[in-house]
Amino acid sequence: MRTISEILAVGAADAPAILAPQLDPLTYAELRSVTAELAGQLGSLGVSSSDRVAIVLPNGPAMALAFLAVARCATVAPLNPEYREEEFRFYLKDLGVKALITFPDDAGAAHAAAPDGTLHLALEGTPSTLRLGHDGAFSEAAPPTSAGPDDLAMVLHTSGTTARPKIVPLTQRNLATSAGNIARSLVLTDADRCLNPMPLFHIHGLMAGLLAPLAVGGSVICTPGFEVFRFFDWMDELEPTWYTAVPTMHHLILARARRHAAVIARNPLRFLRSSSASLPPDVMTELEGVFGAPMIEAYGMTEASHQMASNPLPPAERKAGSVGRGTIDVAIMNDAGELLPTGERGEVVIKGPSVVAAYENNPEANAKAFTHGWFRTGDQGYVDAGGYLFLTGRLKEIINRGGEKISPREVDEVLLRHPEIDEAVAFAVPHDKLGEDIAAAVVLAEGATAREGDLRSFAAERLADFKVPRTFVILEQIPKGPTGKVQRVGLAKQLGLVR
């Protein structure tokens, strides 16, 4: 498979494709019909394969269908509905979107932030009858077109160590290849059903939770998001064979799992999957014991269309502390650009047909990220004699808060707009469940009286919740390295925030 359209053509017409709590299943025949109708409406509105369409919708079947419809005919840009107006203004302008899809009378911040000339489209109807409204009317659908393998399918921003997030342009071939790789690594079949609580603006939820199951004619349970108090009800109602989540979600599921032993016994899972951040070994062991199923830990990033490595299913060996074997080409490289032998530590590098060819309009980032055809992940690790990858650290300053990647420089820039802040540095602090959380050290202007709560409120008005520092440290001077530069990595320890 090379395109989204080819993925959508796999499932048997009468087989369930999309399920959701308290809704009738959507068959593959209906899935193909609805996405063709929506794609045809976009075509009648002048949207072509080279155009970009932003989607700002809550999790659920409508979001999944809108994503698939846009991705089959144009370039989709799924955005976090929790962004503030200032964030939407940046992302929508930076991506150069032609159209914005939301529910009617929803996502006011996104509409207010959209550049002049943007098509404002309202998604209406039930999953099987979805239509796009424009200026109070519904356009007739033109014959739907399908994008080619080398056309762009999706654009996402990835957090960078510079203030400006980088645009990752992923092609139809990138996404289709990754979906196939994930399906093969998990030995998915059309009998499998994925419970997907991951957000559908995130590469993990879109690739592992949506496209990979569809690539084999399986089915996807589109939840309204992650709600741990409803998770076991969903298991009983919709009978998944596996689920994929980030470690923070696994922690919360584990905390409630034993009191739902009867539900788990009635609905045995084939496996559980974790990605986007490191899963503590004790949590893995406990989850496997409670569910009676193997936990498959995988390693992914946006630039690779998600998965780069995965532990195999039993009876193959799963190694504690390893993110598994490469599902694309994975190697270790030193600073000089030389590949290192087995067992030696260096930077993890990747290549393959699921890996982005280049960041968009960012030659400086591309020069740093690509060496001899290999993409530098910014992660440090080694590969053992069995081909298993072990991660030992991170070379980049990106903060990984439970799978949400945060650019510290973006947070710096927002805080520095506060009239009473002279200096600001965001940095990672360890967290027992999230892996990392975000903190900020600030130097106040002379005579300033701002307190921690004031600074947090200021940030919360301008940043999505997951980017807001949970801890503020007010200092007279921010520690700097020998060259006068702030060293974000290790700052938490310097300031006594590491237990």
**Amino acid type, 265:** A
- Tell me the CA distances in angstroms from 228 to 249, 264, 270, 276, 454, one per residue in order: 8, 14, 20, 19, 31
Lowest model confidence (mean pLDDT) among 103-117, 154-168, 225-239: 154-168
pLDDT at 128: 97
User: Does 64 have pLDDT greater than 70?
Assistant: yes
Mode of pairing for the β-strands spanning 374-383 and 388-394: antiparallel
- At the topology level, CATH places domain 399-494 in GMP Synthetase; Chain A, domain 3 (3.30.300)
pLDDT-based confidence at 145, cuts 50/70/90?
confident
If residue 292 lies in a helix (H) or strand (E), which one and from where to where? none
User: Does 127 have pLDDT greater than 50?
Assistant: yes
pLDDT at 162: 52
Question: What is the C-alpha separation between 135 and 7, in angstroms, rounded?
Answer: 32
User: Does 37 have pLDDT greater than 60?
Assistant: yes
For residue range 176-211, what is the model confidence (pLDDT) as tens digits? 999 999 999 999 999 999 999 999 999 999 999 999
pLDDT at 160: 56
pLDDT-based confidence at 483, cuts 50/70/90?
very low
Number of Cβ within a 10 Å radius of residue 50? 11
Q: Where does CATH 2.30.38.10 sit in the chain?
A: 296-394
Arithmetic mean of pLDDT, 323-352: 97
**Amino acid type, 318:** R
Question: What is the C-alpha separation between 479 and 498, in angstroms, rounded?
Answer: 16
Give the tokens for residue 349.
């590098």
Mode of pairing for the β-strands spanning 16-19 and 219-222: parallel
User: Does 449 have pLDDT greater than 50?
Assistant: yes
For residue range 2-12, what is the model confidence (pLDDT) as tens digits? 999 999 999 99
Q: Which residues partner with 421 through β-bridges?
A: 444
- Tell me the CA distances in angstroms from 304 to 156, 202, 211, 213, one per residue in order: 12, 13, 15, 18
Number of Cβ within a 10 Å radius of residue 172? 27
Closest among 163, 130, 138, 154 to 51, alpha carbons compared: 154
Return the DSSP state at 199.
-
User: Does 163 have pLDDT greater than 60?
Assistant: no
- Cβ neighbors of 263 (< 8 A, separation 6 or more) are 232, 235, 236
pLDDT at 396: 75
pLDDT at 480: 72
Q: pTM for the full model?
A: 0.88
* Between 136 and 374, the higher pLDDT residue: 374
pLDDT-based confidence at 484, cuts 50/70/90?
low
User: Does 395 have pLDDT greater than 60?
Assistant: yes
Can you give the length of the chain in residues? 499
Q: Which CATH architecture has domain 296-394?
A: Roll (2.30)
Number of Cβ within a 10 Å radius of residue 341? 8
For residue range 252-300, what is the model confidence (pLDDT) as tens digits? 999 999 999 999 999 999 999 999 888 888 889 999 999 999 999 999 9
Give the tokens for residue 188.
């998915």
The answer, yes or no, to whether the previous bond of 281 is cis (omega within 30 of 0) is no
- Tell me the CA distances in angstroms from 280 to 77, 238, 248, 288, 442, one per residue in order: 32, 28, 10, 13, 32
Residue 290 · residue 272 · CB < 8 Å: no
Arithmetic mean of pLDDT, 230-242: 98
Closest among 352, 43, 310, 38 to 171, alpha carbons compared: 352
Closest among 442, 493, 449 to 469, alpha carbons compared: 442
Residue 108 · residue 102 · CB < 8 Å: no
pLDDT-based confidence at 165, cuts 50/70/90?
confident
pLDDT at 453: 94
Residue 158 · residue 303 · CB < 8 Å: yes
| Burial annotation 263-273 (CB, 10 A radius, 16+ → b, else e) | ebeebebbbbb
pLDDT at 149: 97
Q: Residue 41 in 3-state DSSP?
A: helix
Closest among 3, 4, 20, 114 to 59, alpha carbons compared: 20
Q: Where does CATH 3.30.300.30 sit in the chain?
A: 399-494
Arithmetic mean of pLDDT, 44-69: 97
Q: What integer best gives the mean pLDDT of the chain?
A: 94
Q: Where does CATH 3.40.50.980 sit in the chain?
A: 4-225
- At the topology level, CATH places domain 4-225 in Rossmann fold (3.40.50)
User: Does 485 have pLDDT greater than 80?
Assistant: no
